[in-house]
Structure formats: structure tokens, C-alpha cells
């Protein structure tokens, strides 16, 4: 009996080192093929002049030097940064308010929760086309504005209004997703805290600021980090609303749009597009670190 137990233990121990690797192998292979290899390849290409059909030569930092003198790169960086500045505060605050609104279990609330979540599951292409139709020079919104005497507004022809319109779509589409995250966080806020605050005479706004916000603070940081990374990498909304050229004179181009425009097609400049991708990666990581650091400082 004892000897068989020892033998089994030995067998288990013998299998231990290989077994985890075997279990992890499918995941590792997929990660290696679709994340690590493209990442390393992009990094390597950023230092070459590779084109779609022409293998590149090592050019050192030439692509990065070119970036510094490329007006379109600075336009892309400006727009991607503006997108973060415009979208992230809205996506941190509005879904929280929405979650508070639909948190209570009253009859019919499930309908509203589902309604707010619907844009998340809708195809971005369909959503984009609907918004283009709404905001067109002769669309529904402009017709209403004309009826009330405001006149037509160039939502899709003015570079700043176009960017603002795209941000609105991003916020509208993201509200439901972050609302669900906040709902989960709000469910963990002890009711006693609210009751104690109410007994102490705190009103609804004060309870929100002194009880709810501190309780969901870490979730707000998470939402801030997730939405800032997504906002910096924005592509679909701007592409659909501003067109492939990136708005009037390309003034609404974002960095990811620039990567797509530069690096794809039969004459794509893969090396240069990779250099832009590296910049996007560095800024994205920096944004994450910034948000996490701010959180840690606040905690301390």
C-alpha cells in the first residue's frame, strides 16, 4: 500500500515539469504566433525600409527621423491625444451615473439595462453608417436644427466637429460596456455605509461623493486605463465618419489610421508604418503607467 503510494507520488513528480507546459502549449503557440511574433516583427521592421512586396534593408533610426518631419504624423498624434482627452473623462463618469440609475431593482429596469447595453453589441460599421446618416448635411439632426432656426451644421465637413462627432459615437457606444463594470462594483458597496451616511445627514450628492466614489475608485481607475488605451488606438469611428482620407485635408487622421493608410496595399511602406506602430505602443504603455501611478499616489 505504502509502496504503491510512493510510486504514484514519484510518477506525479516525474510528470510535473512537463505537464504544465503541455497544458499551456496551445495558448503559448497562439500567443507566440499572433501576438509575440507580430510584435517582434513590427519592432524589427520599424528599423527597415521594407515595403509590401520588397524586403527591407536596415535603415537605423531613419523612419523615426522621418516621423518627426511628417506633418501627418503630428496631426495623427494630436488627434489621438485629443481623443483620449475628450473621451476618457466622459467614459469614466457617465457610465457610473448610468449604473447608479439602473442599479435599483424596480420593475422594467432590465429593459433599460439592455437598451443601454445594445450599442455595445451593435456592429461598429452599422452604427457608424447610422450616425453618418443622422449627422449628414441633409440628415435628421440638421433637418431638426433647420426647423428650429439654427441652420445646418457641418458635423461631417468641419474638421473639429467631425472629431467631436466621432468622440460622441465612441462615448455612446462604450457607455453600456463600462456601465456593466460599474454595476458589478456598485453591488459590492456595503449598504450600511450609505445608511450610516444618511443617518449622519448626508444628502444624495454627498453620499455619492463620499461613499460611492471612494468605494468604486479602483474600478474608475480600471475604466480610465481601459478607455484611454482604446481611445488612443481609435480607428473605426473616425474612418467611417471622416472617410478613408481622414476628413478634410486629412486633418482628422488618427495614428492608427495613419498606420493603416501607410502600411497597407501593394505599395505599402511596412517599415514606416511599423515605426508609427512602435510609437503607438510606447504611448499606450505610458498612458497605462500614468493612470496606475496616479492611482497609487492617491492611495498613498
Partner 1 sequence: MPISRRALAAAAICVVLPLSACGSGGDGGGSTDASGKIEGDITFQTWNLRANFKPYFEGLIADFEKKYPGTDVKWIDQPAEGYADKISADAAGGTLPDVVNVSPDLVAPLAKAGLALDLDKAASQYKKEYLEGAWASHRIPGTAGTYAFPWYLNTGPLFYNKSLFSKAGLDPDQPPKTYDEVFAAALKMAKETDGKVATLANVPTIEDFGRYGVELMNKEGTAFSFNDAKGVELLTKYKELYDAKALDPQALTATPESSGKKFLTGAVAMNPGSALDLGNFKKQAPNLYKNIGITDQITSTGHVNMYVMGVMVNAQTKRAPAAVAFAHYVTDAEHQMSFAKQVAIFPSTAGSLDDPYFTKEDGTDETRVRIAAAKSLKNAVNYTPVLFSEQMKTELRNEVAKALQGKESPKQALDNAVEACDRLLQQQG
| Positions that interact with partner 1 (CB under 8 A) | 14, 17-18, 21, 29, 32-33, 37, 41, 49-55, 136-138, 154, 156-157, 162, 242-250, 261-262, 264-269
In the complex with partner 1, which residue's Cβ is closer, 119 or 243? Answer: 243
In the complex with partner 1, which residue's Cβ is closer, 74 or 112? Answer: 74
In the complex with partner 1, which residue's Cβ is closer, 76 or 224? Answer: 76
Asked if residues 227 and 237 have their Cβ atoms less than 8 Å apart, the reply is: no
Asked if residues 286 and 77 have their Cβ atoms less than 8 Å apart, the reply is: no
Residue 262 Cβ vs partner 1, minimum distance, rounded to whole Å: 7
Residue 54 Cβ vs partner 1, minimum distance, rounded to whole Å: 5
In the complex with partner 1, which residue's Cβ is closer, 174 or 246? Answer: 246
In the complex with partner 1, which residue's Cβ is closer, 52 or 114? Answer: 52
Burial 149-183 (b: 16+ CB within 10 A, else e): eeeebebbebbebbbebbbbbbbebbbbbbbbbbb
Asked if residues 253 and 247 have their Cβ atoms less than 8 Å apart, the reply is: yes
Residue 162 Cβ vs partner 1, minimum distance, rounded to whole Å: 8
Residue 173 Cβ vs partner 1, minimum distance, rounded to whole Å: 21
In the complex with partner 1, which residue's Cβ is closer, 48 or 227? Answer: 48
Residue 240 Cβ vs partner 1, minimum distance, rounded to whole Å: 11
Residue 9 Cβ vs partner 1, minimum distance, rounded to whole Å: 16
Asked if residues 255 and 80 have their Cβ atoms less than 8 Å apart, the reply is: yes
In the complex with partner 1, which residue's Cβ is closer, 136 or 295? Answer: 136
For the record, the C-alpha cell of 36 comes out as 509575440
For the record, the C-alpha cell of 84 comes out as 483620449
In the complex with partner 1, which residue's Cβ is closer, 119 or 248? Answer: 248
Q: How far, in Å, CA of 134 to CA of 129, rounded?
A: 9
Residue 249 Cβ vs partner 1, minimum distance, rounded to whole Å: 4
Residue 169 Cβ vs partner 1, minimum distance, rounded to whole Å: 16
Q: How far, in Å, CA of 96 to CA of 89, rounded?
A: 11
Amino acid at each position: 500500500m505504502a509502496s504503491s503510494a510512493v510510486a504514484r507520488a514519484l510518477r506525479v513528480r516525474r510528470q510535473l515539469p512537463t505537464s504544465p507546459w503541455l497544458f499551456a502549449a496551445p495558448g503559448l503557440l497562439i500567443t507566440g504566433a499572433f501576438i509575440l511574433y507580430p510584435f517582434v516583427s513590427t519592432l524589427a521592421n520599424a528599423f527597415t525600409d521594407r515595403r509590401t512586396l520588397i524586403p527591407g534593408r536596415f535603415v537605423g533610426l531613419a523612419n523615426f527621423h522621418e516621423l518627426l518631419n511628417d506633418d501627418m504624423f503630428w496631426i495623427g498624434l494630436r488627434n489621438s491625444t485629443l481623443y483620449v482627452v475628450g473621451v476618457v473623462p466622459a467614459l469614466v463618469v457617465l457610465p457610473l451615473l448610468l449604473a447608479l440609475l439602473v442599479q435599483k431593482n424596480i420593475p422594467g429596469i432590465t429593459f433599460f439595462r439592455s437598451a443601454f447595453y445594445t450599442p455595445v453589441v451593435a456592429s461598429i460599421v452599422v452604427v457608424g453608417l447610422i450616425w453618418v446618416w443622422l449627422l449628414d448635411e441633409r440628415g435628421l439632426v440638421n433637418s431638426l436644427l433647420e426647423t428650429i432656426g439654427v441652420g445646418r451644421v457641418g458635423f461631417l465637413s468641419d474638421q473639429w466637429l467631425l472629431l467631436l462627432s466621432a468622440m460622441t459615437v465612441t462615448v455612446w457606444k462604450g457607455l453600456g460596456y463600462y456601465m456593466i463594470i460599474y454595476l458589478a462594483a456598485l453591488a459590492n458597496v456595503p449598504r450600511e455605509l450609505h445608511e450610516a451616511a444618511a443617518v449622519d445627514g448626508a444628502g444624495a450628492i454627498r453620499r455619492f461623493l463620499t461613499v460611492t466614489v471612494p468605494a468604486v475608485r479602483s474600478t474608475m481607475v480600471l475604466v480610465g486605463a481601459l478607455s484611454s488605451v482604446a481611445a488612443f488606438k481609435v480607428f473605426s469611428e473616425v474612418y467611417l465618419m471622416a472617410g478613408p482620407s481622414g476628413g478634410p485635408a486629412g486633418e482628422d487622421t488618427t495614428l492608427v489610421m495613419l498606420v493603416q493608410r501607410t502600411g497597407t496595399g501593394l505599395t505599402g511602406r511596412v517599415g514606416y508604418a511599423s515605426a508609427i506602430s512602435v510609437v503607438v505602443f510606447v504611448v499606450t504603455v505610458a498612458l497605462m503607467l500614468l493612470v496606475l501611478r496616479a492611482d497609487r499616489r492617491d492611495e498613498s
